Structure 1
Amino acid sequence: MTTMTETATYGTRQNWFTKTEGWLDDRGKGAWIAAMVLGFIFFWPVGLALLMYMIWSKRMFSGTSCARRSKRTMMSNRNTGNAAFDAYKADTLRRLEEEQNDFEAFLERLREAKDKAEFDQFMNDRARRNDGPAEA
């Protein structure tokens, strides 16, 4: 069961990478290191990719651990005690989440249209090549 705080923090629809990242962040730097070591053991490119991501995202050498950053985010989403403000905040977060989902859907449609245009162009070029004069 997802609480309002979890929904506000992590969103309702996310990809597997974001969910995994959030899960590891909740468990702290040790979970990231364990995932990296397991990645090296089972398939070394995965471990190397995790190491590079940890360095790039500053999870490896930051002063504050991932769990503390996540906890700070959770604390910023707690109830203030003012029912009107909490309702406004929840509504605003819900609206922003809907806008994000709509924008992601728009980007997906845009990518699909671009892919279709490129495929159509390929097929037209291919048809022109095949319909050209046959030289003997």
Structure 2
Amino acid sequence: MNQNALIRPDWTPATIALMVLGFVVFWPLGLAMLAYILFGERLKSFKRDANASVDTVFSTFRGGFGGFGKTGFSRGTFRAGNTGNVAFDDWREAELARLDEERRRLDDMREDFDAYVRELRRAKDQDDFDRFMRERNNPSNGPVTGYTGN
């Protein structure tokens, strides 16, 4: 790091002046400047460590982000490439196909249930509407809404 920089994470006249000015203008700015003075050096190492961790995670996929195209996503599930063990790969493909079939079956059941609920709501709405029309057309039973006319 260039130690001759005017604003660096250290107690320099410029950083102290910016911190005081930040507190005068808007106290969170002064607090942010104080945090930069105290923890600025650690931010570089934190950023470097975070980037290294993310790079390690994504390097496990083949080719980084491009590996998603090679390994693929199917209906939101991750499909890894071949392991080299034919028996395991065959078993895994059979299990994934079974799970896909189960997901399709569950999706169909969900659609059927949603249609059933829609039909129940429609029927309830129809009953409510029919009751309203009966009460509206037959005023001898009294007011529908409880309105007294005052």
TM category (shorter chain) comes to 0.3 to 0.5
Higher relative contact order (CA 8 A, sep 6+): 1
TM-score by length of 1: 0.45
- Structure with higher Rg: it is 2
Q: TM-score, normalised by structure 2?
A: 0.41
